[in-house]
Structure 1
Amino acid sequence: MKIALVGCGAVTQAVYAPLLSRRRDLFEVTAVCDLSRTLADAAGDRLGAPGRYTSLDAMLEAGGFEAVLVLASGSHGDTVRRALAAGHAVLCEKPLALTRAEVAELPEGRLMVGYMKQYDPAVRRAGKLLAGLGGPDAIRSVEVTVLHPSGDSQLAFANLTQARDVPADLLATLRAREEALVSRALGEEAPAPVRDLYAIALGSVCHDLSLLRGFTGSPAEIGHVETWGDAPGSVEISGRLPAAGRFSIRWHYLEDYPAYRETVVIHHDAGSLELVFPSPYLMNAPTVLTEVSGGESRAEWREVTEAFEVQLAAFHAFVTDGTPPLTDRAGALEDIVTAQRIAARYAVQHDLPIGGEAA
């Protein structure tokens, strides 16, 4: 499959470039696009892509590919809309967009949204074990803890190429557009704490929302939200699950923490299922699944198959065979709505203004 990449920053350099290099049996990268010519050339050289662009419109007009991988930061709504309108299949990194309106404006087409943890072999195994226990009705609680060090510390090993050739006025324009989208989601008067919380929910906690959506369905209720510490600080979210039980998510930004760690524990009447995720940027580092059952019996399971690679193969199957993705536009929209409900609950609890779609 001939593909094009949009965005040649950290996730492309640390994750997608090495995976696409070793999966040339599935993909040929024919074009790359980034606002930075430096990054576009670096990715193009690494992947052997003849087309290097700093304009999405120019790349789409030139064509020569079947599908587009949208890997840039920020909202992806407009880029996905233009790629779908040009007739391409799209794999879009989370989040799909910052607003419900952007999703509503997307044309029909083949769209898969990338939440790689859904494709983690340990997560898939946990889902099968949970189904054997009775599914969502068997859950007493889901408890999530994320210990999130700085992005720089997580990516220090990757020796990333830096972009220093994007005009400052262009970056300022893009930041203003992002702020306008957040205002559309939360209202013009939404203060910084609500906006910061929304960014965390859609930028990081959305992975845990996608796991909840897969294991139990999206939360039926957001009952409590709290933040503390200097921004981005710590976030606590809890509420009711749709079938049975409750969930809690505790997310902590810890600048100097030794390594990223994410733990998801599903408690049920007969025991627990515990998933421990490593840093997402470490290729083939296993997620550990521990099954605790009667008599304190513990069984650990791990596999080094890379979740991002499984996700790429699933995208290939989606485009070539029509195999449905684990998250389509409807699932991505659910996560956007849940993130807005989180922001709205926090605003209400603290008597802060909330408007826009979240109201």
Structure 2
Amino acid sequence: MHSISEAPPASTRRTAGVTFAARLVFEDIHHSYQSKETIRGISLTAEAGEVLCLLGPSGSGKTTLLRIAAGIEAQSSGRVLLNDREISGPAVFVPPEKRGVGLMFQDFALFPHLTIRENVRFGLTSLPKAEGLAEAGIALERVGLSHYADHYPHVLSGGEQQRVALARALAPRPAVLLMDEPFSGLDSRLKDTIRADTLAILRETRATAIVVTHDAEEAMRMGDRIALLKDGRLQQVGTAQDLYRSPMTLFAAGFFSEINRFSTRVKGGTVVTPLGVVSAENFSEGQIIAAAVRLSAVSVSENTGSIPARIVSRHFLGVVELLTLAVPGSDELVRARIRADLLPQGLREVRLSVNERDIMLFEKDG
């Protein structure tokens, strides 16, 4: 059996056919399931030709929003527009097959009794059979799997099945491609390669793509922009840099990196944390707020730093080490992620330092 690494390199594959990318707009979308509200007034736009990642934990509404765009689910209220044409709303519901929207399922959903070529042709039933098979062959060539055209899905690896599912979704040249956790079933060693190849093909086709993921790093690798969801609400939208460097909520800060969280009260325009005093001029006097510091922002050394600390535990993780530290005068432990072997083994007493700009302040409810 061929492996994914034996597929032809991207430079030798047929270039993906260009689609006419569309702008997809969610306008004040609400959705309920068995009287439970799952989408709570989301307004969001996927611009033509961009890769927009829907990011969030399980139950945040990502897949439901995708299914509403595809026409598999209907929203309780609000509208969906494709290039300013309403495709779902109070008085309009365009069926899925007439939307010009492609959907790639999480489990790839390949038919075991059909050949790879026939699986890809499945979305081209409006074409005469011979023409559909020819287009399917072109789509397989784009993803480097034309040599498997007459085989059946069971001979393929997970990565190869993902490529076939992508070829099938792109064969009709949809204006918008919706992808639901497309890499979740892949071996972690293959993910980077498959993800990069998929992104290259999406760029070639120029289709608008909306990708659902719960993995922040994956969203940062793929998305032109990221929409972060929680409990059916939109938390923040922006580039990877926007969400990482300027999180608007404690939830957003914690979703993109491990953080130390401290509860503190504003006094005299400042707050005191175990890692230093920081200005809190944008908050009210006496207000209880949350301070957050990324683990990577805590510097640890033998003898430089303004804060004395004792190492409570130390875990070697390969390139880095994870430290848990006790700071005098605080019951709250501090965690730090530092380069491995930076500190001598057996060392207990250290000193910490944190740049004031790395201490982020948020309203207590986040």
TM-score, length-normalised on structure 2?
0.29
Larger radius of gyration: 2
Tell which has more relative contact order, 1 or 2 (C-alpha 8 A, sep 6+).
Answer: 1
Whichever structure has more strand as a proportion of its residues is 2
Whichever structure has more helix as a proportion of its residues is 1
TM-score, length-normalised on structure 1?
0.29
